[in-house]
Amino acid sequence: MKNKTLKLIPAALPLLLFSVNTWGQAAGEAASSPYFYDSMLSYGMLALAAVVFIAALAALYNLLNIMVKVQQIRIYQEQGIEAYVEEMKKPQQSFFQRLYKRMTNVVPVEKEEDILFDHEYDGIRELDNVLPPWWVAMFYITIAFGVVYYTYYHFTGAGPSSTEEYKMEMERAEKAVQAYLSTQSNQVDETNVELLTDEASIAAGKAIYEGKGTCFTCHGMFGEGGIGPNMTDQYWIHGGGIKDLFKTIKYGVPEKGMISWKDQLKPAEMHQVASYILTLQGTNPPNPKEPQGDLYQQVDNAAPADSSSTEVKGQDGGTIGMSE
């Protein structure tokens, strides 16, 4: 009986392998997703699915075992072999009990006198239990893992190096971002940005100014200036139009200490904060920093085509006169 049921396991194995294969594909897709939480989640679901599947397999195995046993007893009864009937009615150890016994191979406490060494150290005796087979198996598996892992990454050249992994990650991300952006309406940049005046955008800009943008640390809580220039007067070093501000925020002026924000703020956020800063014009906050740069002639925002500087020095030629 034992042999019969054991044969079921090899039969089930290809099935298992097949399913693992499909899962692997799912995992591969998840890993290529740029959203970290998503891939974490799919891996978790995958592990859960695997556990459930294995548990189901074990339950099925036990069920089959019982059915075979019942059938066997019935056959023996029909044939009138009483001794077998007695034997089969005895409680059998379950699969897990037998597995446990095989994997631990331990001498029971009651019989340990048989395997007690005769040496002792300050009263400490030692038993001659064998190495737990499951432990030995684990040791061999980890060694095999080590050999395979090292071979894969360093002898076959198949496994990617840390920097190759990085390149692949960047390429994947680039593609995903491009794919996403292609679905979005056109992005704000310094060539097409327009002043925002709605309350929500200005409030959002203020929040960025006083929060994640940390603009206030250099330009003052009210735009009065500090390490950086005053932004409430009409004097600007790099131009005072919305397009100028957007550009200064986006690319920074590193040699003067203004850092580039394009990797930390989204275009929409730079748009909002630039618009907010222009609301500070003429607010006359306390402790203003002396004016720096050139007087910027406010151009009517409604004026078409060009809101850039009218100052003599001019800005980057590319933006002047740019029309949409």
Count CB atoms within 10 A of the CB of residue 243: 25
Site string for other proteins, 125-164 (x = CB under 8 A): xxxxxxxx--xx-xx--xx-xxx-xx--xx------xxx-
Question: Site for other proteins (CB under 8 A): which residue of 188, 231, 242, 265?
Answer: 265
CA distances from 65 to 34, 51, 84, 89 (A): 47, 21, 17, 14
Confirm or reject binding of residue 185 to other proteins (CB under 8 A): no
Can you read off the two tokens belonging to residue 98?
């037998």
- Chain Cα centroid distance, residue 157: 26
Residue placing its CB nearer to other proteins in the complex, 96 or 166: 166
CB 191, min distance to other proteins, A: 18
Q: Does 56 bind other proteins (CB under 8 A)?
A: no
Q: Does 217 bind other proteins (CB under 8 A)?
A: yes
Q: Which of 1, 15, 40, 58 binds other proteins (CB under 8 A)?
A: 40
Which DSSP symbol is given to 35? -
Q: In whole angstroms, what is the distance from residue 45 CA to residue 47 CA? A: 5
The region of 83-91, 118-126, 230-238, 279-287 touching other proteins under the rule CB under 8 A is 118-126
44 forms part of the interface with other proteins (CB under 8 A): no
CB 287 within 8 A of CB 233: no
259 forms part of the interface with other proteins (CB under 8 A): yes
Nearer to other proteins, 161 or 197 (CB): 161
| One of 18, 20, 29, 35 touching other proteins (CB under 8 A) | 35
Piece in contact with other proteins (CB under 8 A), picked from 60-68, 90-98, 112-120, 193-201: 112-120
Task: For Cα atoms 117, 123, 127, give the angle at the middle one, nearest 5 degrees.
Answer: 25
Q: Which of 309, 209, 223 is nearest to 261 (CA)?
A: 209
The two structure tokens encoding residue 255: 């040699």
User: Number of C-alpha atoms within 13 angstroms, CB side, residue 141?
Assistant: 6
240: which residues sit within 8 A by CB, 6+ positions away? 234, 278, 296, 298, 309
- Smallest distance, Å, CB 58 to other proteins? 23
Q: Are strands 235-236 and 294-295 parallel, antiparallel or unpaired?
A: antiparallel
Question: Is position 82 an interface residue for other proteins (rule: CB under 8 A)?
Answer: no
Asked whether 235 and 312 are in contact (CB, 8 A), the reply is no
8 Å CB contact between 23 and 49:
yes
Which C-beta is closer to other proteins: that of 58 or that of 138?
138
By CB under 8 A, residue 47 contacts other proteins: no
- Cα-atom radius of gyration of the chain, to the nearest Å? 37
Asked if 102 interacts with other proteins (CB under 8 A), we say no
Considering the complex, state which of residue 1 and residue 116 has its C-beta at the smaller distance from other proteins.
Answer: 116
Least distance from other proteins to the Cβ atom of residue 10, Å? 27
Which of 51, 130 has the CB closer to other proteins? 130
Binding site for other proteins (CB under 8 A): 34-37, 40, 106, 109, 112, 116-117, 119, 121-132, 135-136, 138-139, 142-143, 145-147, 149-150, 153-154, 161-163, 165-166, 169-170, 173, 176-177, 180-181, 184, 212, 214, 217-218, 226-227, 253-257, 259, 263-266
